[in-house]
Structure formats: C-alpha cells, structure tokens
Amino acid sequence: MAGRPLHPPVWWSATFEFDRSEELVEAARAATRRFETGTPAEPIYTRWDNPTVRAVEEAVAALENGEDALAFASGMAAISTTLLAFLRQGDHVLALSTLYGGTVELLTDVLPRWGIRVTFADPDELTPDLIRETRPQVVYVESPTNPTLRVLPLRRIAEAAHQVGALAVIDNTFATPVLQQPLMFGFDLVVHSATKALGGHHDVMGGFVVGLRHWLRPIWDMRKLLGGVMDPMVAFMVHRGLKTLALRVFHQCETALQVARFLADHPRVRQVFYPGLPSHPDHTVARAQMRAFGTMVSFAYDGDMAATQALIDRLSVFHRAASLGGVDSLVTQPVTTSHLHVDDTIRQRLGIGPNLVRLSIGIEPAETLIADLRQALEAP
C-alpha cells in the first residue's frame, strides 16, 4: 500500500508464523547476525525480538548516537542483565558510591553472592589513577548522580577504563540523551530507565542499554534467557514519549534552574545541589559536558527528619511519589525512598541525610512551583 503508519503499530503477538519450515530456521539463524551486520532480522518470538520493540530500540539508539539498543521491562532489568552478561566469578566492579539505591543493592547484596567483588568510590575518589590501580573488569557510574547531582569527567573515566581493559558503563537516566551522550565521551554502554524522562508521563516502566552491537550481543543473549524484555505496548508508549522528549527536558531544565536559585537564597535551606549553580563543585564540568543542567534539584532543609517530612507534606503542587523525569513535579525524601535500604553510614558519608529533599521538576510553570515551595518553607 502507498500509505504507512506515522507511528509504529503495536505488534501484539507472542510468536510469529512462517509459510515454510526453512524460513523459520533461517530466521532463527539470522536473529543473532544482526549484531554482526546490522541487518534487520525477522521476528520469531517476542522474548527474542518484536517489531514494536525494535522500533523504539532504534529510536533510542539514534538519540544516543549508538549503533543499536536493547529494551527491557525496567531500568533495573537493563542494569542487572547488562552486568550479568559480562561479569564472572572473581571479577571486580569499580562503582561510583552515589548511585541509585536499587543499583547499590544489586552491587552489594546480589553480585557478591556469585563471587563478584565490588568496590565503591566517592565522586572525588573515582579518578583515572584509581581505575588504573584497581584494574576492574567493569567501571560503573552515573552522571549526574542520584540524589546529590555530582557530575563526573566522563572522557577521563572512559579513557582510564579502556587503558586497563575495563568496560565503561554509565546510567544516563538523569541527563537523558538530550543533555549528554556518553558514548561520544568514550563510554561503551549507556543504560536508561525509560520509566523516567524517556517515557515522560509516569505511566510506563521500561529500560534500555545502548552501545556498539559488539557489546550488545551478549546482553541480548542474557535478556533472552532472563526474560526481562519490554512489552510491545510499553514500547509504543515510550516511542510516543520520545517525540516530546527534547521539548519537555529543556523546559524542565529552565524551570529547575529558577527553582534552584530560589532555594539557594532562602534562609530555611542549608544547601542546594544543582549543577547549574556556580556554587556547585562540578559546575565547570557540567558546563563543558552537558547542554543544560538537568531536571532534578536537591536541597538540605534546615530541620530534622520529622521537620523535613512535615515540609514535604505541606507541598500541594509537588506530588509525593518515588520517580522522576516526567511531566508532573515530584518530591521525595531519599532516606525513605530511593536510598532506604542503603547503609546509614554510607548515606551519611555521601551527604544523604534525613533533611535532604529531592525534587523532580515537571512541566508546570516555574512561578507555580516556587510559590508552592515558598508557602511550605515559610509556614509557621
């Protein structure tokens, strides 16, 4: 037909039939050849590949300037499947200490059971010298970090990892490919939680890993066995969300900077964590590495645990919900949500105290969000 769908249709089928047996056999053989040649493969079984899922994988790969991408049922499925594809008993992971709490749990509670050693380094300690000294198999980071928004010198880290033969992996969820593309700085693999900005509307759960096909092949094999593939309807909805990603993210970044400046001047706020402020320790790195400073703002309130929770409860525009990156502004207390299961001594060292508040800035007008924060901060 002359016409074709403007959006990828939802291929709602678990399996795909062929006219002849030899066609099915050839399709099975060709399924993995796509990682060698880039040639599209015929769908066979949705746990392997699905046309709707492939459409969003190709779209995310293009956004990150990657050769290809793989989609998953969640961000944690993308992270865990990626690490399990490459790590073996006796291997060593050098990881940033300020990671998403779920990733920290995976690295501290799960991988050591299988004889995989994990070393954590604070942002100022994760230097090229440390990478060369420890010689890990995988270097795993986030930038900006969760929730204190440190920004790492990505090119230096990737170069040092490659000098010792390590795989350089980064979680780019906070920045999104709109603000930075870590593959361009030398990273091997980029992971995302599509539940956040890529989907953008708090109504889907998914994840991606992006990179060279050479690295994606073992991850595809592991995904096929573990089964954490993205649902076709979720793939359709994420693909739709990508169409407004840049519009949303740049608007949210502009608002986040205004919110950060307001908080920095308020007497009830002890410290603001936002790379767009000149007072941020990584402001210069962020200016050189990112197109804008991100949609997340964290701040330390002048109060204890109970006072901080009372502050959060006084907010009426911000939603008390544990996610980020979407159209609705959200507020959380990291010690009770994302970092609830992280050891308290680690949280204290990283500056994640009971008075830390994390804001995910949505698409509401800046003046509306600032007015909500002002009334909550200044209530008697």
Which listed residue (34, 54, 196, 347) is catalytic? Answer: 196
Provide the pLDDT confidence category of residue 33 given band limits of 50, 70 and 90. confident
Asked if residue 31 lies in contact with residue 13, where contact means CB atoms within 8 angstroms, the answer is: no
Note whether residue 254 is domain-resident.
yes
Cis? peptide before 112, omega within 30° of 0:
no
Give the closest residue to 190 by CA, choosing from 78, 96, 98.
78
Would you state the pLDDT for residue 193?
Answer: 98
Based on the domain organization, do 168 and 305 belong to the same domain?
no
Note whether residue 198 is domain-resident.
yes
47 a catalytic residue: yes
Provide the pLDDT confidence category of residue 350 given band limits of 50, 70 and 90. confident
162: domain range? 21-242
Based on the domain organization, do 165 and 302 belong to the same domain?
no
Tokens in use for 32?
């993995």
Residues pairing with 320 in the sheet: 331
Say how far apart CA 303 and CA 300 lie, in whole Å: 8
Which listed residue (49, 171, 231, 282) is catalytic? Answer: 171
Sign, CA torsion 32/38/39/41: positive
Helix residue ranges, H only, the chain: 21-37, 51-63, 75-86, 101-105, 128-134, 154-163, 176-179, 213-226, 232-242, 245-264, 283-289, 305-314, 344-349, 366-378
* Average pLDDT value for residue range 159-180: 98
At which residue do the structure tokens 């409860």 appear? 313
Say how far apart CA 239 and CA 245 lie, in whole Å: 10
Note whether residue 1 is domain-resident.
no
Q: How many separate domains does the chain show?
A: 2
What is the pTM assigned to this prediction? Answer: 0.96
Based on the domain organization, do 188 and 283 belong to the same domain?
no
Which listed residue (45, 47, 91, 217) is catalytic? Answer: 47
- Asked which of 198, 224, 242 is the last residue of a domain, the reply is 242
Based on the domain organization, do 80 and 50 belong to the same domain?
yes
196 a catalytic residue: yes
Would you state the pLDDT for residue 336?
Answer: 87
Based on the domain organization, do 217 and 254 belong to the same domain?
no
- Asked which of 200, 219, 242 is the last residue of a domain, the reply is 242
Give how far the C-alpha of residue 331 lies from the chain's centroid of Cα atoms, to the nearest Å: 18
Based on the domain organization, do 259 and 176 belong to the same domain?
no
Which listed residue (100, 140, 274, 301) is catalytic? Answer: 100
Would you state the pLDDT for residue 1?
Answer: 59
Asked if residue 288 lies in contact with residue 367, where contact means CB atoms within 8 angstroms, the answer is: no
Residue pLDDT, tens place only, 190-241: 999 999 999 999 999 999 999 999 999 999 999 999 999 999 999 999 999 9
Based on the domain organization, do 230 and 288 belong to the same domain?
no
Note whether residue 9 is domain-resident.
no
- Asked which of 197, 226, 242 is the last residue of a domain, the reply is 242
Question: Range with the lowest mean pLDDT among 25-29, 183-187, 259-263?
Answer: 25-29
Note whether residue 251 is domain-resident.
yes
Based on the domain organization, do 216 and 249 belong to the same domain?
no
Note whether residue 346 is domain-resident.
yes
Note whether residue 12 is domain-resident.
no
Residue pLDDT, tens place only, 240-270: 999 999 999 999 999 999 999 999 999 999 9
What is the CATH classification number for the domain harbouring 287? 3.90.1150.10
Based on the domain organization, do 192 and 281 belong to the same domain?
no
